[in-house]
């Protein structure tokens, strides 16, 4: 055990700044799983158990063969600042090293006895001997206050991600120093290893034992099963009767002219047609243009190639071929509907292969602030981008779902419009300057009384002011740069 620990420590230290010096060899792939936890090229996806939440994936950065030992490295997070020995970035050699471990810990060593040794973020080791006889137990972790054992309960036929398999089952027990059972989150949980699927039931390693979080396999490649990819068919999954309303808003920082607009777009799904490679919807579309108080009404067809892949597992793996993109795949609650969501936030950093780090590059100008979210069953949920200054000219654009009705459940606040709604007289009020920096003035032309409400695009109320004069001045210097909505509520209009 001490030999293995020394080996892992030595390898980890050597890998700290030259992680990619080791090559992932295809010859490491075994001809059969034989109850192995994973292979060098394994790609797997797990989520919290029993309530799905944020997912965690497996995809190794590199694998090292050292005598009778195989060491898997899975650094995927962006960690501390360092000086690159090889790559120069915009402004110098400073970069952020890709050295934070995934949920599996800093490294996993498989020794010649078939024992797996996991190194945590606190430099602790968890050692699992899966070569037990039914009823046998094995200690895999111990500290001055507690110990963790696993008992081999035996093997049985199983169905893992809808694929028939054979599985081995191990039960976890947690005891204090007196031998009393600790009712911890992992006590009595199972470790499950499939002959074909590999590690199917496990727990989070990196912050163990402070964080004890059971995890369950929900996606796998080779064989392909479960959430192995996110496709149009999964994301744009609507039924007749579904409704979605979008906010589409553009705001330019330079002007005049500003070319600003705020539109509300509603889709009412009338019909769904499925073809071998296509999903087609007949949709009633209603567009409300707030700047002109015009309502456009038509019927359109929306077509989606059902096999188009939006993303593939492990989803959270950093993409070293493009600008750094931080992805997340998670189950979220949308008004009693638990829907899988996939978000992307580009960071505009370049990757240095030699030192396994990320640094800024000249794009040129300030980097955009961008975010994209897809939600299974709703489609594109949010598409947001903003540039604060030229070049090019500063702007902010938001396209997001603000209301939907799905499976009879309504979520959000619908903006109700009707062709018979009276237009708002342009002479009732004036808001200036726009854009504003420190103060905003609202002038009511008919001496009406009422309230002025300033809110962000998520509907969160930030200011509420009583109208007590023909011209009301509002301090806004405490608000961050961005777009805000001003609602004026008077006796005669809103």
pLDDT at position 127 over 90: yes
**Low-confidence winner among 60-69, 281-290, 421-430 (lowest mean pLDDT):** 421-430
pLDDT at 281: 98
User: CA of 319: how far to CAs of 242, 313, 325, 332, in Å?
Assistant: 35, 12, 7, 24
CA distances 343 to 136, 350, 421, 456, Å, are: 44, 20, 37, 21
DSSP string across 10-72: HHHHHHSS-GGGS---GGGS-SS-TT-S--TT-EEEEEESSS--BEEEE--SEEEEETTEEEE
Provide the token pair at 295. Answer: 């309502």
**Predicted pLDDT of residue 32:** 41
Q: C-alpha dihedral over 445, 446, 450, 456, to 10 degrees? A: -20
Q: What is the pLDDT of residues 232-268, one digit of tens each?
A: 999 999 999 999 999 999 988 776 666 789 999 999 9
Q: Quick: pLDDT tens for 130-164.
A: 999 999 999 999 999 999 999 999 999 999 999 99
Contact 78, 247 (CB under 8 A): no
Report the pLDDT value the prediction gives residue 4, as an integer from 0 to 100. 39
């Amino acid at each position: 055990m001490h030999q293995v620990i020394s080996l892992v420590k030595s390898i980890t230290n050597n890998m700290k700044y030259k992680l990619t010096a080791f090559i992932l060899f295809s010859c490491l792939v075994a001809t059969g799983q034989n109850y192995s936890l994973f292979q060098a090229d394994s790609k797997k996806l797990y989520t919290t158990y029993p309530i799905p939440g944020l997912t965690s994936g497996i995809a190794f950065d590199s694998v090292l063969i050292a005598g009778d030992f195989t060491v898997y490295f899975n650094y995927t997070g962006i960690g501390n600042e360092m000086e690159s020995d090889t790559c120069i970035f915009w402004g110098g050699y400073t970069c952020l090293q890709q050295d934070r471990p995934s949920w599996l810990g800093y490294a996993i060593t498989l020794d010649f006895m078939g024992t797996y040794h996991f190194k945590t973020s606190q430099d602790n080791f968890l050692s699992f001997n899966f070569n037990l006889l039914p009823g046998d137990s094995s200690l895999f972790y111990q500290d001055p206050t507690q110990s963790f054992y696993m008992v081999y309960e035996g093997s049985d036929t199983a169905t893992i991600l809808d694929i028939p398999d054979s599985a081995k089952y191990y039960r976890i027990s947690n005891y204090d120093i007196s031998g009393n059972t600790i009712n911890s989150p992992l006590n009595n949980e199972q470790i499950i290893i499939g002959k074909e699927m590999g590690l199917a039931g496990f727990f989070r390693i990196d912050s163990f034992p402070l964080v004890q979080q059971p995890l369950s396999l929900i996606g796998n490649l080779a064989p392909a099963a479960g959430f192995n990819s996110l496709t149009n068919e999964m994301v744009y999954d609507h039924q007749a009767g579904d409704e979605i309303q979008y906010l589409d808003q553009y705001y330019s920082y330079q002007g005049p002219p500003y070319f600003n607009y705020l539109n509300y777009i509603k889709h009412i799904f009338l019909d769904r047609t499925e073809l071998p490679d296509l999903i087609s919807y007949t949709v009633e579309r209603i567009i409300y243009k707030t700047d002109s108080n015009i309502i456009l009404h038509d019927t359109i067809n929306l077509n989606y190639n059902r096999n188009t892949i939006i993303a593939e597992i492990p989803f959270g793996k950093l993409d070293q071929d493009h600008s750094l993109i931080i992805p997340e795949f998670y189950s979220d609650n949308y008004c009693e509907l638990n829907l899988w969501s996939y978000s992307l936030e580009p960071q505009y950093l370049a990757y240095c292969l030699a030192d396994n780090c990320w640094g800024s590059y000249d794009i040129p100008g300030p980097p955009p602030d961008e975010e994209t979210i897809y939600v299974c069953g709703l489609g594109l949920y949010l598409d947001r981008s903003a540039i604060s200054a030229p070049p090019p000219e500063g702007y902010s654009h938001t396209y997001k779902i603000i209301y939907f009705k799905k499976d009879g459940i309504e979520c959000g606040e619908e903006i109700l419009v009707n062709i018979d709604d009276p237009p708002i007289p342009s002479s009732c009020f004036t808001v200036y300057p726009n854009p504003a920096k420190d103060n905003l003035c609202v002038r009511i032309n008919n001496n009406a009384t009422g309230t002025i409400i300033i809110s962000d695009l998520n509907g969160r109320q930030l200011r509420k002011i009583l109208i007590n004069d023909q011209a009301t001045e509002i301090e806004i210097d405490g608000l961050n740069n961005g777009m805000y909505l001003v609602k004026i509520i008077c006796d005669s209009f809103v």
